[in-house]
Amino acid sequence: MLKIGEFSKLSRVSIRSLRRYDEAGLLAPASIDSFTGYRYYSERQLPVANRIRALRDMGFPLAAVREVLGCYDDPGALERCLLLQRALAWEEMEEARKRLRLLDTALERLRKDETMMKYDVTIKTLPERHVASVRQIIPSYDREGDLWHIYCQETARMNIQDGDPVLCTAMYYDGEFKDQDVDVEIQKNVVGTYPDTEHVKFKTVPAVQVASATFRGSYDQISTVNEAVATWVEDNGWTFDGLFFNIYHVSPHETRNPDEFVTEVCYPVKRK
């Protein structure tokens, strides 16, 4: 019989791990001295300890090791367990590669232009929404407020219940930047069913996956934020997949101080 320290050296498993294996019901001592409490292991237990250590090195959690140990007499079942763990390890490797790519992109952006790092780009999915919508050709982008004025005017007496959280968005339909006569749609998510008015239409918009960046301050930053998002999309293996839009979390409706505006720039995307 071997004392726990001797067994630890021969099996190359720490005493702490051996105690954990015992607590998990994987490898109990062959005997325990009732007077001293010393734990003793048999040399015949070394192969089991080695198997457990090998499975742990493969990434199997303790909770799964018992099941895998029971498969050693069934090569087919053991192969299935190993293939499943291999698939999980592959997924973890892909996630690690994704994190490395994001880190490399962030470092490259920082080295190219420190101002780009002011804007963190993330992938998110906006759920399906029921919205009140106004779409018109307006003289220029800075006249977007005209559409919000139309919305407020035509729905003032309809007791519309806002969504939670309320999302006020503006979508841009032109395929290029235009100095005048721009095609813009504003949307506000709502709860309930309401009749259309002359210019306000109620509809359901589908869920959409976007690359987005949120910034605080005046709208003068939007061009720079657009550039940051576009660069991030290109560098991280995504491609544009729809019309870009803005979400106004804090807008002129809530404050007259441009430094307090909070805007989220969103570009629908898909994997290349």
Q: Per-residue pLDDT for 111 more than 80?
A: no
Nearest-angstrom CA–CA distance, 213 and 249: 12
Which percentage of the chain shows pLDDT scores above 90?
A: 53
- What is the pLDDT of the chain when averaged over all its residues? 89
Specify the pLDDT at position 258. 86
Instruction: Give pLDDT tens digits for 13-51.
Output: 899 999 999 998 989 999 898 888 888 999 999 999 999
Task: Taking residues 70-91, report their average pLDDT.
Answer: 90
Ramachandran region, residue 69 (left: φ > 0; alpha: ψ -120 to 50; beta: rest): alpha
Is-cis flag, bond preceding 139, omega within 30? no
Burial class (CB in 10 A: 0-12, 13-18, 19+), 119: buried
Nearest-angstrom CA–CA distance, 122 and 111: 20
Tokens of 18: 């051996």
DSSP E strand boundaries for the chain: 2-3, 31-32, 39-41, 121-126, 129-138, 161-162, 168-172, 182-191, 201-205, 208-216, 238-240, 245-250, 262-271
pLDDT band at 104 (very low <50, low <70, confident <90, very high): confident
Task: Taking residues 88-117, report their average pLDDT.
Answer: 75
Instruction: Give pLDDT tens digits for 122-169.
Output: 999 999 999 999 999 999 988 999 999 999 999 999 999 999 888 999
Q: Which of 5-19, 187-201, 212-226, 231-245 has the highest mean pLDDT?
A: 187-201
Specify the pLDDT at position 118. 66
Specify the pLDDT at position 83. 93
Please tell me whether residue 248 adopts helix, strand or coil conformation: strand
Indicate the pairing of strand 182-191 with strand 161-162: antiparallel
pLDDT band at 109 (very low <50, low <70, confident <90, very high): low
Q: Which pTM was predicted?
A: 0.58
